[in-house]
Amino acid sequence: MMKIVRHIYPVFDQLVSRDSKEWLLQQRARVIWFTGLSGSGKTTIARDVEKVLYEMGHMTMLLDGDNVRAGINNNLGFSPDDRCENIRRIAEAAKLFLDCGIITLCCFVSPTEELRQLAAEIIGPKDFIEVYVNTSIEECERRDVKGLYAKARKGEIPDFTGISAPFEPPANPAFEIKTEGRSEEECVQELLKFLVPLLQHEGVL
Ligand code: ADP
């Protein structure tokens, strides 16, 4: 029979709260929302950050186009309505992870202030940490990691952010990373210095 370890874990009358889950995981959950052009470095940086956080003993979840558009949002395209619904669902999913005490890294172009505002409202401004990965369109196009810029230039991708659809830089991000001429390692270390103190649990409930 399963042993109940009530003497270690606090017991709650009703639902097990987010606070209790954060206590269990010994971390404070936040949503780290990476915004920036395609190819700016969001996923690269977030993956490295996640690896370091894991090594520090933190529980994380990374949401990006690869795992979200392939599954939960596989019925959505890139029209303004679909972009909005895409972000709404991502933010709702991130909030569920947050309520589970999990540090959630979200990597989405989220090109307009309106979309990022929507995400911040759903998640709650206190838990929403906006990180602007600031790489110029010229550099992103030069990198062209997925060949998308070349396609967009040929007119094969309509409404491609930075080419035929706007990107509004965040007015007041919590943190900004400039990647040009800098190593991934440098960018990751800089971000970690900012993030890690925000994720520390005080150790008591
Ligand atoms: P995004 O997720 O923003 O679309 P990716 O992370 O998929 O972008 O791609 C960014 C590309 O830029 C990668 O090929 C990465 O190796 C490269 N890159 C070069 N310098 C940096 C840097 N300082 N930080 C992050 N990525 C960098």
Q: Could you give the CA distance from residue 172 to residue 130 in angstroms, rounded to a whole number?
A: 9
Instruction: Give the 3-state secondary structure of residue 146.
Output: coil
What is the residue-level pLDDT of the chain in tens, covering all 205 positions? Answer: 555 555 555 555 567 899 999 999 999 999 999 999 999 999 999 999 999 999 999 999 999 988 998 999 999 988 889 999 999 999 999 999 999 999 999 999 999 999 999 999 999 999 999 999 999 999 999 999 999 999 999 999 988 999 999 999 999 999 999 999 999 999 999 999 999 999 999 886 5
Non-local (6+) Cβ contacts of 165 within 8 A are 111, 159
Which residue's CA lies nearest to atom 14 of ligand 1?
Answer: 145
pTM of the model: 0.93
Is residue 183 annotated as a catalytic residue, yes or no? Answer: no
Which residues lie across from 130 on neighbouring strands? Answer: 33
Q: What is the pLDDT of residue 10?
A: 58
Domains present along the chain, CATH in parentheses: 18-198 (3.40.50.300)
Testing ligand 1's pocket by substitution, the residue of 42, 44, 51, 68 carrying the most ligand atoms inside 8 A of its CB is 44
Alpha-helical runs (H) found in the chain: 18-25, 42-55, 65-69, 80-99, 113-123, 137-143, 148-153, 184-195
Asked whether 104 lines ligand 1 (CB < 6 A), one says no
Q: What is the pLDDT of residue 64?
A: 95
Asked whether 38 lines ligand 1 (CB < 6 A), one says yes
Q: Could you give the CA distance from residue 77 to residue 96 in angstroms, rounded to a whole number?
A: 23
How is the chain split among helix, strand and coil, in percent rounded to 5?
Answer: 40, 15, 45
Q: What is the pLDDT of residue 52?
A: 98
Q: Could you give the CA distance from residue 138 to residue 135 in angstroms, rounded to a whole number?
A: 8
Ligand 1 midpoint to CA 39 (Å)? 6
